[in-house]
């Protein structure tokens, strides 16, 4: 009973993970940047980031806990791959939350305006950190989507 319930909850958490991250990345952020000047849009999105990164950590950690409950006694290749993929997401979320994001904030705070001074060293540092964050974000979305597809196929 608990194994079955945790399996269903795992699928729901994966859906929240992929849907929430995709909505923020592919809908909300582009709309904000199209609707406001660059510096203001950056401030708005920057205000949302702590909650977004906490969300990614929460859903990946919840997915890991639920996966472990639902896999009790299972040692199939698919279950080991799923466990590795969810664990990767938790590690990436921890890194982004407590390593990458604080460094990006420091670099961003050292830049007066992103609409001027394109060769400011802090702006260049921020650009590199932002690019790394964007790539890790896409990896997390792809990871979650792959896990969701694998979960759906296991339920058949």
Per residue in 113-137, pLDDT (tens digit) is 777 766 778 888 999 999 999 999 9
CB 115 within 8 A of CB 37: yes
Task: Please state the pTM of the whole predicted model.
Answer: 0.91
Give the pLDDT score at 117: 66
Give the pLDDT score at 155: 61
Give the pLDDT score at 75: 83
- The Cα-based distances of 1 to 4, 8, 74, 95 in angstroms read 5, 11, 15, 35
Give the pLDDT score at 55: 98
* Residues in the chain, pLDDT under 50: none
């Amino acid at each position: 009973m608990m194994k079955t319930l945790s399996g269903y909850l795992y699928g729901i958490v994966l859906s929240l993970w992929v849907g929430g991250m995709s909505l923020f990345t592919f809908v909300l952020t582009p709309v904000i940047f199209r609707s406001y000047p660059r510096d203001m849009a950056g401030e708005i999105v920057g205000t949302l980031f702590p909650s977004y990164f906490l969300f990614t950590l929460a859903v990946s950690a919840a997915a890991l806990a639920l996966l472990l409950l639902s896999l009790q006694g299972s040692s199939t290749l698919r279950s080991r791959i799923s466990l590795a993929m969810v664990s990767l997401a938790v590690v990436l979320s921890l890194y982004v939350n407590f390593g990458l994001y604080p460094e990006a904030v420091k670099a961003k705070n050292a830049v007066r305006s992103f609409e001027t001074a394109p060769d400011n060293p802090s702006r260049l540092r921020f650009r590199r950190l932002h690019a790394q964050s964007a790539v890790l974000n896409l990896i997390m979305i792809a990871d979650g989507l792959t896990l969701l597809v694998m979960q759906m196929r296991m339920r058949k």
